[in-house]
Amino acid sequence: MGFVTQRMCSILVTFFLIFFSCLCVANSEQYHSNNLKLRKQSQVTSCNVYEGTWVFDNSYPLYNSSNCPKLRKEFDCQKYGRPDSLYLKYRWQPKQCDIPRFDGPDFLRRFKGKNIMYVGDSISYNQMQSLVCLLHAAVPDSNITAVKGSLYYNTTFQDYGVSIILFESHYLVDIEVEAIGRVLKLDSMKNGNIWKDMDVLVFTNWLWWYRRGPKQPWDYIEDGGKVLKDMDRMDAFRKALKTWGRWVDTYVDPGKTKVLFQGINPTHYDGIDWNNPRAINCTNETTPLNGSTYPKGLPEAEYVVRDALSTIKKPVHFFDIATLSQLRKDAHPGHYNYDKGLDCTHWCLAGLPDTWNQLLYIALTN
């Protein structure tokens, strides 16, 4: 009996040894692969994708602009004679991680039935057209409808139910015509009633705040019930952003709507800013700056935006594209547009806004 017990025992011990060691191996393998997955995920989630450098990549651009539906003539640099094409061949490389390439079919699947709205000035227009070009390049045969209403411009990929919308708003806050003239109202944002029903909102603002003379679309400015002829423009911008922040905290439902606010759009009108005193403007620039910092540093308005966002309680993603865009002194139309006027403010398409939308895709899917 002693013998049998011993034998049984040793079989049992062997069995348990094998069983547990298998369990252990399995566990450690699972642990290992979970760990890897976690590491990869946290690499993109904890990585600052807005910090990095531009690298040459011959697989770019992501589309041929001559195929883009309804591309605005301000952005179609190749069509208007831009002789160089190296500027089309740069990919954004974050310092701490790799980012996925823009995946149009995946984007359309994920955002089925959704309204994605860009709110802002012509930079929003630039960016909206980039996304339409990117998605169209992914599904060139799908049915697109474009409807220009009085308030916004709605492009829909009918087969996917995805709408890409531009809402032009130069100041975010309202301009109203009153007896004394056109009044810019720093405390009023009525269009928010339309914005709050969207699924994704990407805000851009800044370009119009320093306009004066005939290009200024208002006569008076109203601040806290007082009507003024003018005021410090940076203060006015700060107050408008405060109004915007209050709107987010009061009306946005974070369960429905994802809100992003874009950093300041840089311009390139003085080569001293990028250590090239010979450059009067952006026209002769054909390559990005090396490295990941811009000699002049960030525009002052960028700090105003950051301050405003830091006081908002609801989740808002700071879409931090200022520095990576500053490095692209080569990516503006320059004189290569329909009227040969100088433009070192907007961006050629294909081009930089495609990277913004690639980063938008990452911000929305992570």
Ligand X SMILES: *[C@@H]1O[C@H](CO)[C@@H](O)[C@H](O)[C@H]1NC(C)=O
- List residues near ligand X by CB under 6 A: 64, 66, 115, 143, 145, 154, 156, 158, 163, 165, 278, 280-281, 283-284, 290, 342
Q: Catalytic annotation on 343?
A: yes
Residue 255 dihedral angles phi and psi, to the nearest 5°? -70, -25
Residue 312: alpha-carbon gap to chain centroid: 19
Closest approach, Cβ 85 to ligand X, in A, equals 7
| Candidate list 65, 122, 124, 163, residue with the active-site label | 122
Alpha carbons 9 and 286: distance in angstroms, whole number: 79
Q: Is 346 a catalytic residue?
A: yes
Q: Please, what is the minimum distance in Å from the beta carbon of residue 276 to ligand X? A: 9
**For ligand X, which is the closer residue by CB, 93 or 154?**
154
Helix-strand-coil percent breakdown of the chain, rounded to 5? 35, 20, 45
Closer by beta carbon to ligand X, 304 or else 350 = 350
The residue among 10 and 158 lying less far from ligand X, judged by its C-beta, is 158
**Annotation says 122 is catalytic:** yes
Amino acid at 61: P
Minimum distance, C-beta of residue 222 to ligand X, in the bound complex (Å)? 29
CB of 152 to ligand X, least distance (A): 7
Longest Cα–Cα distance of the chain, Å, equals: 111
- Note whether 355 and 363 are within 8 A (CB): no
Cβ distance to ligand X smaller for residue 68 or 359: 68
Q: Which two tokens stand for residue 33?
A: 């692969």
Q: What are phi and psi of 224, to 5 degrees?
A: 55, 40
Strands (E), the chain: 52-56, 90-94, 115-120, 144-148, 152-157, 162-168, 174-178, 181-185, 200-203, 220-223, 226-228, 258-262, 317-319
Cβ closest to ligand X, residue 158 vs residue 311: 158
How near is the Cβ of 166 to ligand X at its closest, in Å?
11
The DSSP line for 233-299 is HHHHHHHHHHHHHHHHHHH--TTT-EEEEEPPPP----GGGGT-TT-SSSTT--SPPSSS--TT---
| Residue in 136, 170, 335, 346 annotated catalytic | 346
Q: Cite the active site residues.
A: 122, 343, 346
